[in-house]
Amino acid sequence: MYYETVFIVNPDISQDNTETMTNELVDKIEKAGARIVKREYWGSRPLAYSIQKRNRGHYSLLVTDGAADVSKMIDETLRLDERVMRFLTTSITELSDEPSPLLRRRAAATEEKVEEKSEDKAAEEKTEAKSEEKVEAKAEKVTEAPAEEKAEEAVTEKAEAEEKTEEKAED
């Protein structure tokens, strides 16, 4: 039979200490002859209602495979630990290999963020490419403009020189 235990740890305890506490619990469970089938850390989440004047807590899930005695031992250990604010152990008949619904939502949200970032990055690259094209076009105009001005100046100077020679010829 499988037992699913969800427990909430005081938010004043750091995530590392929560992990350490969970590791200690896992060691106790394995020494008792059961095995851990699934282990998930759901993170620091808001509580539905205040517990011990706290509004948040570190949520963890453990699924064990073992006898009912192990379930009672888990409950007793969590009850005596001052860091644990609430816990609930239920027996389940079927075990799912999929992550919990909470982790699936979190993974989907993470994928959406990654997609948004890649879309934003693509839009930035397009904008940069367009601005680079504009800069290149301006640079070409700037390089062309002096050449055109020089050509116009040369034509003007040539015309002025021809006028002077015509004036001298008339004199």
Domain 2-97 belongs to what architecture?
A: 2-Layer Sandwich (3.30)
Q: Provide CB contacts within 8 A for 171, sequence distance 6+.
A: none
- Residue-range domain boundaries for the chain: 2-97
The reported pTM is 0.62
Q: What is the pLDDT of residue 144?
A: 54
Residue pLDDT, tens place only, 100-109? 877 777 778 7
User: What is the 8-class DSSP label of residue 60?
Assistant: E
Task: Band the pLDDT of 121: cuts 50, 70, 90.
Answer: confident
Average pLDDT of the chain? 83
According to DSSP, the β-strands at 35-51 and 84-92 are unpaired
Phi, psi (deg, nearest 5) at residue 103: -70, -35
> In this predicted model, what pLDDT tens digit does every residue of 65-117 receive, in sequence order?
988 899 999 999 999 999 999 999 999 988 877 778 777 777 787 877 777 77
Instruction: Report the alpha-carbon distance of residue 157 to residue 152 in Å, rounded.
Output: 8
Is residue 61 very low, low, confident or very high in pLDDT (cuts 50, 70, 90)? very high
